[in-house]
Amino acid sequence: MTTQLYENPIFLEHVVPEGHPERPDRLKALNLALEHPNFAELKRVEAPKASEDLVLLAHTEEHLLSIKKWIPEEDITQIEADTFASPLSLDAALTAVGAAVAAVDAVFAGEADDAFVAARPPGHHAEKNRPMGFCFFNAVAIAARHAKRAHGVERVAIVDWDVHHGNGTQDIFWNDSSVLFCSTHQMPLYPGTGAKEETGVKHNIVNAPLSPNSGSEHFREAFRTRILAALDNFRPDFVLISAGFDAHYRDPLAQINLMAEDFDWATGRLMEVAGKSCGNRIVSLLEGGYDLEGLAESAAMHILRLIRG
């Protein structure tokens, strides 16, 4: 298997207030883990900055313009309750989009079997016309739309195992039957969406909420019975993963209590789906994960599973 990792120093230049959980140290911790010899064959690619028109694949022009207006010339400004911007935040957010799109192109060109996008800020809370939850642009949604437009993909599956529900992705694809959105997440928890009854206009939304203090057994059961069953019926041409690692037991923002091995297991199950349905084509994007040790261990096992198949 050939796995590519997309990164860029600009992701460290998106500055947030001291004590904010979505901090540059997250990527620094992951990079330390990737120094292990297990990752010697991982091809690391510098992510390009996306053109602004790519943002419009998933967002309104009003959303893009409002983000641009919020970017300060100096210091840090607050966009909404949890989301902050600094002078290079727009460049970082556009490069996160560029990384996702470049990863899709590489997989469909046969340059890589799969790819991981190690970017920040994350994206899955960004709705069509609203930034929230640390997120500016919904890179996974843009990647899905790009795969359809540029590569003729008919059915895209997005699997989100971040501990917080991907409300933005759900909002963008609420009435789009060509995209299956599946999510495991803690409920109740921010952002308050993700009930089983939220199925979308086309019944293309599959939510598998987990109660606080659930663990590996409950996660795997929900993944098998709801997520994998839906994927089997949908038969995707392409699989995208919103790979948040904040369901790890060490994470300070939630109480799902997974182990790093659970992310390895879930990765393996999605690789089986991709092997049967879409020629192994998977692109995974980093979302949450706020304990540095838990994030580094879990993301490393996820990437290693992509490498080893």
Which residues carry out catalysis? 125
**8 Å CB contact between 214 and 256:** yes
**If residue 55 lies in a helix (H) or strand (E), which one and from where to where?**
helix 52-55
Query: How many Cβ atoms are within 10 Å of 309's Cβ, its own excluded?
Result: 12
Distance CA 114, CA 2 (A): 7
Pick the closest to residue 125 from 255, 299, 292, 287 (CA basis): 287
Pick the closest to residue 22 from 131, 113, 107, 147 (CA basis): 131
Own/partner contacts of 35-40, CB < 8 Å, gap of 24 or more, are 36/300, 38/300, 38/304, 38/307, 39/300, 39/303, 39/304, 39/307
All residues at 6 or more sequence positions from 276 whose CB lies less than 8 Å from its CB, including other chains = none
Distance CA 239, CA 284 (A): 8
Distance CA 6, CA 117 (A): 5
Q: CA dihedral defined by 217, 218, 220, 224, rounded to 10 degrees? A: 130
